[in-house]
Amino acid sequence: MSYLDPQPNENFIDGTFGEGGHSLAILEKIAPRGKILGLEADNDLYQRLLARKTQRLIVVNDNFVNLKEIVKEKKFGPISGVLLDLGISSWHLEESQKGFSFLRNEPLMMRLDGDKSKLTAANIINDWPAAELERIFREYGEERFASKMAAAICSLRNRKPIETTWQLAEIIKRILPPSYEGGRIHPATRIFLALRIAVNRELENLERTLPQILEVLNKGGKICVITFNSLEDRIVKSFLAQESKAQPGRLKILTKKPVMAGVEEIKNNPRSRSAKLRAGIKI
């Protein structure tokens, strides 16, 4: 909130609306006439939000990769700030039943939009060649046992399709050594992340969206992005640095280092431990 610095009657975009926590906090600050344009890619979550739409809160069921087009269609502006809170929410992990978590036995889907007719995690695990599995495990999951995992998965899927989160998690657990990552994370964590990124084209969409944010922002408008893994953070850091050094410069970086959760916040919300906030202002 301190970096977005919302003022009365300003307009903001929440590119990852979720359950609306950020937007509701901003709405209080931009009263009485300021508006929020909220984008939510998950149709199931969006349907739950419909009752909350008002003249000041516009919610659209779409991915932030279509930001510029949505702003034009909704004739929304001028825009004083855009927020992206990347990844998935607690609702996705605990309630969505879309296979994002290995803590529950659910179908291996992992699609934010819930469209089973499109690419799912089960499609990738059961159909993609070993070389492609290894690539996404290594690139998106930064998994050092990528080759070993890909080979084992390809061997096991020939006997029986891998269709649920627990099936996949159990396979991964059997493949990896007991001392994996010193016990700090579940053995399936990196693979589930890699699959989610691949299914939803998360890194590609982020790279395509960041320039759009600068285009739609008013002069003096803020961009704030919260990331949850090193791949996302690298993209945001690189974009902000590139735009701040461009001639003529289009952006001033507001966060020399990423802002991270303090001890108290991590204690109250353990999932915040990997969050990094980077911010800039359009000049």
pLDDT of 178 higher than 80: no
Dist. CA 56–CA 106, nearest whole Å: 37
pLDDT of 142 higher than 80: yes
CATH of domain 12-90+202-282: 3.40.50.150
Q: pLDDT tens, 230-258?
A: 999 999 999 999 999 988 889 999 999 99
In the chain, what are the domain boundaries? 12-90+202-282, 99-200
3-state DSSP assignment of residue 47: helix
CATH of domain 99-200: 1.10.150.170
What pLDDT, on the 0 to 100 scale, is given for residue 153? 96
What pLDDT, on the 0 to 100 scale, is given for residue 55? 87
Q: In the chain, what is the greatest distance between 2 CA atoms, to the nearest angstrom? A: 62
Averaged pLDDT, 152-162: 94
Q: Three-state SS string across 115-136, please? A: CCCCCCHHHHHHHCCHHHHHHH
The one-character DSSP state at 164 is B
Q: Which of 216, 252, 239 is nearest to 3 (CA)?
A: 252
> Of 185 and 36, which is predicted with more confidence?
36
pLDDT of 95 higher than 80: yes
Q: Which of 102, 81, 100, 103 is nearest to 92 (CA)?
A: 100
Q: pLDDT tens, 64-89?
A: 999 999 999 999 999 999 999 998 88
What pLDDT, on the 0 to 100 scale, is given for residue 184? 77
Averaged pLDDT, 216-230: 97
- Top-ranked range on mean pLDDT: pick from 108-117, 136-145, 172-181: 136-145
Give me the percent of the chain exceeding a pLDDT of 70. 99
Give the mean pLDDT of the chain.
Answer: 93
> Of 115 and 85, which is predicted with more confidence?
85
pLDDT band at 50 (very low <50, low <70, confident <90, very high): confident
Element (H, E) at 32: none
Question: For 105, how many CA atoms within 13 A lie in the half-sphere containing its CB?
Answer: 4
